[in-house]
Structure 1
Amino acid sequence: MTSLKNAITGNVIVYQGADESISTNMLYKDETFWMTQKDMGRLFDVNVPAISKHLKNIFESGELDASAVISKMETTAEDGKIYQTNFYNLDAIIAVGYRVNSKKATQFRIWATGVLREYIVKGFALDDDMLKNGRSFGQDYFKELLRRVRSIRASERRVVDKFLNFNEYRILTHKGHISMTMAQKKAIGEYTVFNKTQHVISDFDKFVKEHS
């Protein structure tokens, strides 16, 4: 178990409820968030014994390794005494959220399932506001997003090259009887039919190009 000394404290929007954004104070360190059992109880609106029971089952079932998701930190209680307190990272918080029986936990699961569905269907899930405004603490992942988009665009160019080199698709019906220029025009035309969206430069594409 590692120490959470010098961890950053901040207010984080954890999930979107039916009528409001649900936020809470969390510690941030090592690119993840940390909460105590008491904090999780407040977040999901249940008592601490319920959180403790679910964590026990999570560890006993092998869903998570306790040594990987728990860290100790010194906290000062209301009586002024210092205690060693267990903090649980985001993996544990999510796992508990999927087991707790409360209205807030249900709202969390609805939100989390929506994010997962978007990822499975679209291949990505974005928090637009976070990417636009950046985090007040932790890493800003906007540059990583741009880098990955550039990589995807490069892959699309390679597909076009394969079309032009006739490596993947048989698109010529008069082999040996047309010029190279005609072949290129034919390949580009076929690729346009194959993926009509690729010849349109979106606003995001322009933005990526400007920041390359």
Structure 2
Amino acid sequence: MTAQPKSIVIYEISKNKAISVPLEHESVWLSLDQMTELLNRDKSVVSRHIKNIFAEKELVRKSVVANYATTAPDGKTYKVDYFNLDVIISVGYRVKSLRGTQFRIWATKTLRDYILKGYAINKNRLIDTGIDELGRAVALIKQTLDSKVLTTVESRGILRVITDYAHSWVMMHKYDEGEIKISGKTKPKYALTYDEAIGFVHELSTTLHAQDAATKFVGMERDDHGLDRIIGSINQTYGGKDVYKTVEEKASHLLYFVIKDHPLIDGNKRSGSLLFIHYLAMNGLLFRQTGERTINDNTIVALALLISQSHPKDKEIMIHLITNLLG
């Protein structure tokens, strides 16, 4: 993209030093020079890390780089590459920068406020169009944001859920208006069995115990055969046809049921996330044609948190949220 950013926010690096940060497309953006100043690292070091991020396919360049018109000290205007929060955070982790951590905390709060306030301002317009599903999703997300102190991974993931879901809502609205065509959903080519599922759960439990990262109850089934019933419900048919017809529907219900129904004594979120990823991978839906993950690890962590915090009456909106993110 090449343009002037719609909004600018000021971030104070120190008492006597500040940078102007573009805020657009639900992210904050920094140039290479600004990132160098923020992280207090040599420009060549930051540049090398950015190149490695793209070379290792951690991020896709066209999704995280914008080209903005910038006025230089000589008074001339130049086109300059700006990198979004995903890149800034990734570089910050690689150089182990305290300033990078501080910026991440500030940016997360700034984006959260920007997105939620922006929704509030446009609430009446959304209702007038007869669409309130986005509002219900944002309300659920806001409830979770307000209910606990979030870790870095949870914060990044929830912000991604908000922005990706908002994008999918816009796409569906354009579809309703006849402005865009949406491809059909994915037909399953693989069915998960109980034996496979419990095998993966036990494998996860063994790995976590070896790392001393889990209680002894992780992966242990309750006595009511809950996991077996969940797998059965995902694969159930009626009149010879699948009740859940698409990979997106089946995967969404699998993740929701394992986390919400607690078939295991402990480790339901981790086990549900593992089975969710495996099911998507086996049905060819884990990666997009570009090579980018359909849904990344941070987003899965955030979804698991949102499901666990949600009320049972909100089951359908959670399922819609997950399926839209996979679409």
Q: Please indicate the TM-score interval, normalised by the length of the shorter structure.
A: 0.3 to 0.5
Bigger share in helix: 2
Larger Rg: 1
Q: Structure 1 length as normaliser, TM-score?
A: 0.48
